[in-house]
């Protein structure tokens, strides 16, 4: 989402630098519009370095791009932190004497103002009237916190902490999404960090040969892209894939390429430390050659063929499920199953869910032929409840193109987290989203 972060001239401007980082970590594209006096507190290089964008400070710079109109029009959210008494007054009365007030006049998106000032100014009748007027017009004016102010004094007027302001920003964005009919689901991974593996690993036999598999990586890449669309910061761990990988976005999407199961294991073990969700969509080799020849294996003159000894690879899914770096990590596995004399697809899948120790298992029924490389998919999702019972999800949302199925899987993940999830995840019961 495109966020304009306005900064007015108050000592709390330094806190806006942290808010900027949080907004970027949430995946937003943030343009900072400081007022002239804000720049006396925190300089232009800080804002441009942290936002990754040039900083527009007045209506006259880059006039050919008409920033006083284009910034406000294009924004999905405008947040002003800190909003001084002067800024509130100018906003309430529709003044347009600098770039920030122009942005406020042209914005059609939600506007969140976070005032910070001395208690007397906050309580002054003029400020109260301005705040009332702004609120009446639908602007969110956050109540300032009570506490230590700039000098030795304390009272109402402190800028709330950046984390709290981030919650207001998220609330304004999801409220707007709901009003637009796209529903809050669209951004329900905001603030979450997810790791998604995709593609097939390759286990080398010699410098030119490997044991591989037919995974195209389509479903894994679609899952990473869907998570990104829903606001998550995503780490995509890609083995061999046949589809284009999404472009990395600083703070929003990271891609790490891996070759073998062992490389994937090492990257994933490290990546999940600060993740909320791991989705193991990669087709990881179960076996690898016991030895990798350093030189290309030659055909023997006598026609003898080499015998390749295989050894088991680490089961990454089972290992991460059993050794979670923190109890909040939700682990989602994948399985390809066929029904046979020993059980139905669902029975096999249920056994796999338990043996792998993951929370959710996305199951491809491959009885009628593989799904590898096909653009569409049809899956069951098995969900382990805290009491050990297993719930099965299927049907609409879990059938269709791989992007549709990807969103269907994230829907189940989101509901699972909201419902408290599997054993060991009780701490997330009150989570508003995933």
Catalytic residues: 213
For residue 197, give the nearest of 258, 286, 153, 111 by alpha carbon. Answer: 258
Instruction: Report the alpha-carbon distance of residue 268 to residue 277 in Å, rounded.
Output: 11
380 interacts with ligand CTP by CB under 6 A: no
261 interacts with ligand CTP by CB under 6 A: yes
262 interacts with ligand CTP by CB under 6 A: no
Among 280, 331, 353, 382, binds ligand CTP (CB under 6 A): 280
Nearest CB to ligand CTP, comparing residues 245 and 336 = 336
Region near ligand CTP per CB under 6 A, out of 84-92, 138-146, 149-157, 334-342: 334-342
Question: E-assigned strands of 205-350?
Answer: 210-211, 233-238, 253-257, 277-280, 287-289, 310-312, 330-337
Query: CB of residue 352 vs ligand CTP: minimum separation in angstroms?
Result: 6
Region near ligand CTP per CB under 6 A, out of 39-47, 120-128, 309-317, 402-410: 309-317
For residue 253, give the nearest of 230, 281, 225 by alpha carbon. Answer: 225
203 interacts with ligand CTP by CB under 6 A: no
316 interacts with ligand CTP by CB under 6 A: yes
Nearest CB to ligand CTP, comparing residues 7 and 238 = 238
3 state DSSP class of 270: helix
Which residues sit opposite 278 in a β-bridge?
Answer: 195, 331
Instruction: Report the alpha-carbon distance of residue 119 to residue 233 in Å, rounded.
Output: 38
DSSP symbol at 394? -
Q: Do you know the residue count of the chain?
A: 434
DSSP 162-181: HHHHHHHHHHHHHHHHHHTT
139 interacts with ligand CTP by CB under 6 A: no
Nearest CB to ligand CTP, comparing residues 6 and 333 = 333
Biggest CA pair distance of the chain = 100
Cα of 276 vs its chain's centroid, Å: 10
For residue 158, give the nearest of 170, 177, 142, 169 by alpha carbon. Answer: 142
Query: CB of residue 418 vs ligand CTP: minimum separation in angstroms?
Result: 23
Nearest CB to ligand CTP, comparing residues 99 and 406 = 406
Region near ligand CTP per CB under 6 A, out of 49-57, 123-131, 186-194, 329-337: 329-337
Region near ligand CTP per CB under 6 A, out of 53-61, 67-75, 150-158, 333-341: 333-341
DSSP 38-65: HHHHS-HHHHHHHHSSPPP-STTTTGGG
284 interacts with ligand CTP by CB under 6 A: yes
Instruction: Report the alpha-carbon distance of residue 251 to residue 246 in Å, rounded.
Output: 14
3 state DSSP class of 421: coil
Among 41, 47, 122, 334, binds ligand CTP (CB under 6 A): 334
Query: CB of residue 282 vs ligand CTP: minimum separation in angstroms?
Result: 5
Among 164, 229, 263, 286, binds ligand CTP (CB under 6 A): 286
Instruction: Report the alpha-carbon distance of residue 131 to residue 122 in Å, rounded.
Output: 9
Query: CB of residue 48 vs ligand CTP: minimum separation in angstroms?
Result: 41
Q: Is 354 exposed, middle or buried (0-12, 13-18, 19+ CB in 10 A)?
A: middle
317 interacts with ligand CTP by CB under 6 A: yes
Nearest CB to ligand CTP, comparing residues 79 and 282 = 282
Nearest CB to ligand CTP, comparing residues 165 and 316 = 316
Instruction: Report the alpha-carbon distance of residue 106 to residue 108 in Å, rounded.
Output: 6
Among 336, 390, 394, 404, binds ligand CTP (CB under 6 A): 336
Nearest CB to ligand CTP, comparing residues 170 and 265 = 265
For residue 229, give the nearest of 166, 182, 167 by alpha carbon. Answer: 182
196 interacts with ligand CTP by CB under 6 A: no
Q: Which residues bind ligand CTP (CB under 6 A)?
A: 261, 280, 282, 284, 286, 313, 315-317, 333-337
């Amino acid at each position: 989402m495109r966020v304009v972060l306005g900064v007015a001239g108050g000592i709390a401007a330094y806190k806006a630098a942290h808010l900027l980082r949080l907004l970027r970590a949430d995946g937003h594209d943030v343009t900072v519009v400081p007022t002239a006096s804000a720049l006396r507190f925190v300089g232009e290089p800080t804002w441009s370095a942290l936002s990754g964008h040039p900083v527009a400070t007045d209506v006259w710079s880059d006039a050919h791009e008409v920033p006083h109109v284009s910034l406000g029009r294009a924004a999905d959210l405008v947040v002003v932190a800190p909003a001084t008494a002067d800024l509130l007054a100018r906003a309430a009365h529709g003044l347009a004497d600098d770039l920030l007030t122009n942005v406020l006049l042209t914005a059609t998106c939600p506007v969140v103002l976070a005032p910070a000032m001395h208690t007397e100014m906050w309580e002054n009748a003029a400020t109260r009237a301005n705040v009332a007027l702004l609120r009446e017009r639908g602007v969110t004016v956050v109540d300032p916190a009570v506490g230590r102010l700039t000098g030795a004094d304390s009272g109402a007027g402190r800028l709330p902490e950046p984390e709290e302001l981030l919650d207001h920003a998220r609330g304004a964005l999801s409220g707007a999404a709901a009003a637009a009919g796209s529903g809050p689901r669209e951004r329900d991974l905001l603030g979450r960090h997810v790791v998604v593996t995709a593609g097939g690993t390759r286990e080398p036999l010699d410098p030119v040969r490997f044991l591989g598999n037919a995974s195209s990586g389509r479903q894994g890449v679609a899952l990473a892209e869907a998570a990104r669309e829903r606001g998550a910061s995503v780490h995509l761990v890609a083995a061999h894939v046949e589809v284009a990988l999404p472009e990395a976005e600083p703070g929003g999407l990271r891609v790490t390429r891996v070759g073998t199961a062992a490389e994937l294991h090492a990257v994933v073990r490290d990546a999940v430390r600060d993740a909320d969700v791991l989705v193991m969509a990669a087709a990881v080799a179960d076996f690898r050659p016991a030895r990798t020849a350093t030189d290309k294996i030659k055909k023997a003159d006598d026609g003898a063929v080499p015998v390749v000894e295989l050894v088991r690879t680490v089961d990454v899914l089972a290992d991460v499920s059993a050794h979670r770096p923190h109890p909040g990590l939700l682990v989602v596995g994948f399985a390809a199953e066929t029904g046979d004399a020993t059980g139905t697809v669902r029975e096999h899948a249920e056994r796999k869910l338990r043996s792998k120790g993951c929370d959710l298992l996305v199951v491809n029924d491959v009885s009628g032929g593989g799904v590898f490389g096909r653009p569409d998919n049809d899956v069951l999702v098995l969900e382990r409840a805290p009491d050990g019972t297993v719930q099965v999800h299927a049907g609409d949302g879990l059938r269709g193109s791989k992007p549709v199925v990807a969103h269907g899987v994230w829907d189940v993940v989101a509901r699972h987290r909201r419902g408290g999830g599997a054993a060991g995840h009780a701490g997330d019961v009150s989570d508003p989203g995933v």
